[in-house]
């Protein structure tokens, strides 16, 4: 990897299904993909409408599932927003949001867009099938 990307990720409808102010079920492969991106060294920013307790709940949900954000609703951890001088837009290389034009692509496709040269080998796919795991790259129904 050349240099890490700053990736801003929405929560409701992107990481979990829309159930605001509650936390919905995980969107298939969202957490697995985010953990993989985090392990590659990318900087994940939680970029959400949530605030207060609802925001804390979302951050804690992700932390319990192995996702630690570089920043939350900010471009960098130390950022202090001043509406008289600062833009509300987050400084990121990529934005992942269910409200993109065309909607949210499947998380396997998102991973492949960020890592276009990385494809699963046949051996990895077969191992995934024999271990009764769902693939990150193609949806397989539960048995």
Residue 12 is given by DSSP the state B
pLDDT of residue 118: 79
Enter the pTM of the model: 0.79
Per-residue exposure over 35-70, b if at least 16 CB sit within 10 Å of its own CB, e if not: bbbbeeebbbbbbbebeeebbeebbebbeeeebebb
Structural tokens at position 134 = 């769902």
Instruction: Select the more confidently predicted residue: 131 or 6.
Output: 6
Q: How confident is the model at residue 43 (pLDDT cuts 50, 70, 90)?
A: very high
Structural tokens at position 132 = 């009764």
For residue range 61-103, what is the model confidence (pLDDT) as tens digits?
Answer: 999 999 999 999 998 888 887 767 666 788 999 999 999 999 9
């Amino acid at each position: 990897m050349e240099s890490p990307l700053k990736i801003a990720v929405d929560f409701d409808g992107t990481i979990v299904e829309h159930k605001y102010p509650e936390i919905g079920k995980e969107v298939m492969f969202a957490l697995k993909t985010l953990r993989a991106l985090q392990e590659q060294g990318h900087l994940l920013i939680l970029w959400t409408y949530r605030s207060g307790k609802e925001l804390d709940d979302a951050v804690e949900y992700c932390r319990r599932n192995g996702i630690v954000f570089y920043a939350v609703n900010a471009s960098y951890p130390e950022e202090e927003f001043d509406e008289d001088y600062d833009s509300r837009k987050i400084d990121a290389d990529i934005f992942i949001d269910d409200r993109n034009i065309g909607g949210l692509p499947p998380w396997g496709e998102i991973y492949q867009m960020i890592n276009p040269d990385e494809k699963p080998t046949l051996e990895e796919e077969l191992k995934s099938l024999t271990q009764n795991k769902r693939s990150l790259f193609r949806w397989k129904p539960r048995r």
